[in-house]
């Protein structure tokens, strides 16, 4: 199993996260018209350490998680987004163990939160308030053999 589905499996079964976003956790882009609050995650970088010109079997991708709240769904969208982001941080920061079939060695909050507002662009005053966090996720992977 790769890390992307493992992240979904882990977060979609974490009580602190699901209490706020249910199963509205999406890789890369949310479904059109998805209810909020929801979480979007995507790989934004990372490294594959080498030793003596060979991979070591541990990878360190950097993932960005964004919580989005439609301003029409919540009286105080920023507060709701921050509440969800805190639940995400409590689920992720410092995690070690199995995420599905992935052996996760360490998860660290790398940066964030970063807040922004994305207007709908239809002349309405509404939009989505978002807050993002980046996580460094060390996990094992198969080593190529030649």
Supply the pTM of this predicted model: 0.90
Domain 3-140 CATH (choose: 3.10.20.30, 3.20.20.70, 1.10.510.10, 3.30.2000.30): 3.30.2000.30
Question: 42 with 63: CB under 8 angstroms?
Answer: yes
- Per-residue pLDDT of the chain (146 residues), as tens digits, is 689 999 999 999 999 999 999 999 999 999 988 999 999 999 999 877 777 777 788 999 999 999 999 988 767 999 999 999 999 999 999 999 999 999 999 999 999 899 999 888 766 778 899 999 999 999 998 877 77
Q: How far is the C-alpha of 69 from the C-alpha of 22, rounded, in Å?
A: 13
């Amino acid at each position: 199993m790769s890390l992307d589905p493992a992240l979904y499996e882990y977060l979609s079964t974490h009580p602190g996260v699901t209490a706020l976003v249910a199963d509205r956790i999406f890789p890369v882009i949310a479904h059109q018209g998805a209810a909020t609050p929801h979480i979007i995650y995507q790989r934004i970088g990372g490294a594959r350490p080498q030793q003596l010109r060979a991979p070591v079997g541990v990878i360190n991708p950097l993932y960005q998680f964004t919580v989005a709240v439609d301003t029409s769904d919540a009286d105080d969208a920023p507060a709701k987004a921050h509440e969800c982001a805190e639940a995400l941080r409590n689920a992720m920061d410092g995690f070690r163990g199995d995420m599905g079939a992935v052996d996760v060695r360490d998860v660290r909050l790398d940066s964030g939160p970063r807040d922004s507002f994305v207007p709908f662009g239809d002349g309405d005053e509404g939009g989505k308030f978002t807050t993002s966090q980046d996580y460094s996720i060390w996990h094992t992977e198969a080593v190529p053999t030649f």
